[in-house]
């Protein structure tokens, strides 16, 4: 997507094919900085520290991390250790395991001296496939936005609420939940986005707001607790969020607070859709609440906040009393019964085993 007058992706291989570049998302929205990753340890740190984040981008970064490992030593034991290092970075997004399993399956079949070139090629294919899937999700979601628009007075804006950041910054390009928004905006449909700030890391306030601004999509940052009020007052026509892991039955693990938005949407009769590319579907799980591992992050993300001073300096300040404990579950699970539908790259499905089997019969 666009950064200033440049078209960009969130991750791209260096010309010499021995490194990969990323956007450092911990610096946004106040500074745009890129980083050059040259080792699998760099890739693991980038995921763990959330320099890169978002389920699809985590998967693509892990794929390139394995390519960096192969470039240093393509032997099987090195690749296995590299995969274990990357897998341990964050537990909830299934795209991480999906990408590592894909890469290892391809590389293990090859003689050692053929692995480096194939690893770079396969990582690039995974990145390109993400872009294509997200564009397709955008097209299917565009049809949804057009249907909502038809139900409104001519010329009225379609108001969409989203949680966290499931835009192009969470993927290699296009995004998942925001891909339909970009497609609608490019098609001239008047859309406006309510972006939940998404405490504690504020991905909505810092990343979703930034990328929508770069694309000149009208948007309003709101505190997390305002979404229900806006839905009650008829200000939200549609909710679209992302997913880090969706079960084969349609239960959805996504950023903490998603479940609460789904409850409000159900109570207010607002359609609640999840943009779910197939690499984020965990076909081995049936009960998301019981089976999806929820990442617990450090309490400092809750007890402090980082922002820009009047002098333009990035500073971190403490929010809570030093003696107060803090809990920081990074995701929650929205049961399928609260999900209106899943927007996949193959079309829109009911949040159910039957709905997903219809679109992915090879997985049934
Ligand atoms: C398109 S998946 C984006 C997904 O990832 C985010 O989590 P995090 O920022 O911690 O990686 C959030 O759950 C988004 O919906």
Tell me the CATH number at 228: 3.40.50.10470
Nearest-CA residue for atom 15 of ligand 1: 242
Nearest one of 100, 215, 125 to 169, comparing CA atoms: 215
Note whether residue 318 is domain-resident: yes
Q: Do 110 and 67 share a structural domain?
A: yes
H helices present in the chain, as ranges = 40-48, 55-72, 76-87, 95-108, 115-150, 179-186, 203, 209-214, 227-232, 258-268, 288-291, 300-303, 353-359
Tell me, in angstroms, the distance from the centre of ligand 1 to residue 155's CA: 32
pTM reported for the whole predicted model: 0.97
pLDDT of residue 285: 98
Is the C-alpha dihedral spanning 352, 354, 357, 363 positive or negative? positive
Q: For strands 341-344 and 272-275, give the pairing.
A: parallel
51 lines ligand 1 (CB under 6 A): no
Domain span holding position 269: 137-359
pLDDT of residue 322: 93
pLDDT of residue 1: 84
Tell me, in angstroms, the distance from the centre of ligand 1 to residue 257's CA: 12
pLDDT of residue 305: 95
Name the residue of 10, 22, 52, 55 whose CB sits within 8 Å of the most ligand 1 atoms, as the mutation to test its pocket.
55
Q: Do 278 and 167 share a structural domain?
A: yes
pLDDT of residue 17: 67
Note whether residue 364 is domain-resident: no
252 lines ligand 1 (CB under 6 A): no
3-state SS assignment for residue 200: coil
pLDDT of residue 169: 98
Q: Which of 106, 128, 150 corresponds to the end of one domain? A: 128
Tell me, in angstroms, the distance from the centre of ligand 1 to residue 277's CA: 13
Q: Which of 82, 101, 128 corresponds to the end of one domain? A: 128
Name the residue of 242, 274, 281 whose CB sits within 8 Å of the most ligand 1 atoms, as the mutation to test its pocket.
242
238 lines ligand 1 (CB under 6 A): no
141 lines ligand 1 (CB under 6 A): no
Note whether residue 117 is domain-resident: yes
Q: Which of 111, 128, 145 corresponds to the end of one domain? A: 128
- Answer yes or no: are the C-beta atoms of 115 and 74 closer than 8 Å: yes
Q: Do 162 and 21 share a structural domain?
A: no
Active site residue 287: no
Name the residue of 243, 261, 280, 294 whose CB sits within 8 Å of the most ligand 1 atoms, as the mutation to test its pocket.
243
Task: Please tell me the total count of domains within the chain.
Answer: 2
56 lines ligand 1 (CB under 6 A): yes
> Which atom of ligand 1 lies at the shortest distance from residue 58's CA?
11
Q: Do 227 and 97 share a structural domain?
A: no
pLDDT of residue 63: 98
Q: Do 78 and 184 share a structural domain?
A: no
Residue ranges of the chain with per-residue pLDDT less than 70:
17
Residue 53 annotated as part of some ligand binding site: yes
> Which atom of ligand 1 lies at the shortest distance from residue 95's CA?
2
3-state SS assignment for residue 110: coil
Q: Do 33 and 87 share a structural domain?
A: yes
pLDDT of residue 2: 81
Q: Do 292 and 222 share a structural domain?
A: yes
Token pair, residue 29, equals: 């929205």
171 lines ligand 1 (CB under 6 A): yes
Note whether residue 180 is domain-resident: yes
Residue 54 annotated as part of some ligand binding site: yes
164 lines ligand 1 (CB under 6 A): yes
pLDDT of residue 283: 98
Tell me, in angstroms, the distance from the centre of ligand 1 to residue 163's CA: 9
Q: Do 338 and 213 share a structural domain?
A: yes
Q: Do 339 and 223 share a structural domain?
A: yes
Catalytic residue among 102, 244, 251, 282: 244
- Answer yes or no: are the C-beta atoms of 283 and 363 closer than 8 Å: yes
270 lines ligand 1 (CB under 6 A): no
Q: Do 90 and 143 share a structural domain?
A: no
């Amino acid at each position: 997507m666009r950064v200033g007058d440049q078209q960009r992706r969130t991750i791209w291989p260096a010309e010499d094919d021995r490194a990969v570049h990323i956007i450092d998302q911990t610096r946004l929205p106040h500074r745009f900085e890129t980083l050059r990753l040259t080792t699998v340890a760099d890739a693991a740190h980038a995921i763990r520290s959330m320099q890169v984040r978002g389920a699809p981008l985590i998967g693509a970064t892990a794929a390139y991390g394995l390519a960096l490992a192969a470039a240093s030593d393509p032997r099987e034991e090195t690749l296995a250790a590299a995969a274990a290092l990357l897998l341990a970075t964050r537990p909830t997004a299934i795209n991480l395991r999906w990408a590592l399993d894909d890469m290892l399956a391809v590389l293990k079949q090859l003689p050692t001296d053929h692995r480096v070139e194939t690893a770079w090629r396969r990582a690039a294919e995974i990145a390109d496939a993400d872009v294509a899937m997200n564009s397709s999700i955008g097209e299917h979601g565009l049809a949804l936005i057009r249907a909502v628009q038809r139900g409104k007075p001519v010329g009225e804006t379609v108001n969409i609420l989203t949680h966290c950041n499931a835009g192009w910054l969470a993927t290699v390009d296009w995004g998942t939940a925001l891909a339909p928004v970009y497609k609608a905006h490019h098609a001239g449909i008047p859309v406006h986005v309510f972006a939940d700030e998404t405490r504690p890391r504020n991905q909505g306030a810092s990343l979703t707001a930034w990328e929508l601004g770069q694309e000149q999509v009208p948007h309003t940052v709101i505190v997390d607790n305002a979404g229900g009020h806006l839905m009650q007052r008829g200000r939200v026509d549609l909710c679209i969020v992302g997913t880090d892991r969706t079960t084969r039955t349609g239960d959805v693990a996504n950023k903490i607070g998603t479940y609460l938005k789904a409850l409000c949407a159900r109570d207010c009769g607002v359609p609640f859709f999840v943009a779910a590319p197939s690499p984020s579907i965990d076909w081995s799980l049936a009960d998301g609440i019981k089976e999806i591992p929820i990442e617990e992050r450090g309490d400092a993300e809750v007890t402090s906040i980082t922002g820009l001073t009047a002098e333009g300096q990035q500073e971190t300040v403490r929010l809570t009393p030093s003696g107060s404990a803090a809990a920081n579950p990074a995701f929650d699970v929205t049961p399928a019964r609260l999900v209106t539908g899943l927007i996949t790259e193959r079309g829109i499905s009911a949040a159910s085993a039957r709905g997903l089997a219809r679109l992915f019969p090879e997985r049934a």
